[in-house]
Amino acid sequence: MRALSREEVRRLDRRAIEEYGIPSLVLMENAGRGAAQWLLGRMGAGSRVLIVAGPGNNGGDGGVVARHLELEGVEVVIRWIAEPGQLSADAAVQYRILERAGVDQAAWPDGGGAGQLGAVLEGVEWVVDGLLGTGLSREVGGPLRGVIEALNGSGKPVVALDVPSGLDADCGLPLGVAVRAAATVSFVAPKLGFGRPGAADYTGPVVVVPIGVPRRLLREFDPAV
């Protein structure tokens, strides 16, 4: 699949949901499960994973990753950088499932502060970045900026979901600050900005996982599919 722009990603998702009748939760489930399976193949035995999740659907993808890692016996910690009431509808579904499943999760709308976040980072081997997705087009600020800076300074390998948080999906430049990922698991297709000079410093190697979008629809965006 060729690289897609931010607007193409929006159109593809919208058409999959509205024209093909695929519930957005199904697309989220497929994305998060695919990312979890990729990560499981690379973690050492007994690894502990921190997932940082934003309020939008990228955070919801992180919630799905948390569920599937936990199903495989991985010790998972998930921190939502938002109040539960601020979560998108699909992300809120993941939050409620994780709550009932007894997964170690908490809402840190202020980013947890340097002390709390630093303590959690010290106890994990991997980090999953589900803070911000492809829709970001303005400079990162507030608690999210602090969390990204903490991840970059932690020395832990970070796996970004779809796009490293803070990286402009179209131009491949950081919007003030961006996660420097060890790898990026991108959904459906690589993003246009990934091919720009310097973008690889943030994405690391990029792997693309499918999320259940029908081949007929994919061909409309890339006839070579």
Q: What residue spans define the domains of the chain?
A: 6-210
Q: What is the pLDDT of residues 9-51, one digit of tens each?
A: 999 999 999 999 999 999 999 999 999 999 999 987 788 999 9
Q: What are phi and psi of 106, to 5 degrees?
A: -155, 155
Give strand ranges (E) for 131-198.
Answer: 158-161, 183-187
The model's confidence at residue 112, banded by pLDDT at 50, 70 and 90, is confident
Give strand ranges (E) for the chain.
Answer: 48-53, 75-80, 104-107, 126-130, 158-161, 183-187, 206-209
**Distance, CA of 172 to CA of 187 (rounded, Å):** 16
- Whole-model pTM? 0.96
Q: Cα dihedral angle (21, 170, 89, 150), rounded to 10 degrees? A: 150
Q: What are 134's strand-pairing partners?
A: none
Q: What is the pLDDT of residues 55-109, one digit of tens each?
A: 999 999 999 999 999 999 999 999 999 999 999 999 999 999 999 999 999 999 9
Coil, helix or strand at residue 165: coil
Residue 46 pLDDT:
82
Q: What is the pLDDT of residues 128-172, one digit of tens each?
A: 999 999 999 999 999 999 999 999 999 999 999 999 999 999 999
User: Token pair of 78, please?
Assistant: 């998930």
Q: Is 178 left (phi over 0), alpha (psi -120 to 50) or beta?
A: beta
Contacts 24+ apart (CB under 8 A), 10-16: 10/135, 12/188, 12/213, 12/217, 12/218, 12/221, 15/217, 16/212, 16/213, 16/214, 16/217
Q: Which of 85, 80, 89 is nearest to 107 (CA)?
A: 80
C-alpha distances (whole Å) from 53 to each of 32, 75, 85, 129, 213 are: 12, 17, 14, 7, 24
CATH number of 6-210: 3.40.50.10260
User: Token pair of 86, please?
Assistant: 């601020």
Q: Which of 215, 155, 202 is nearest to 1 (CA)?
A: 215
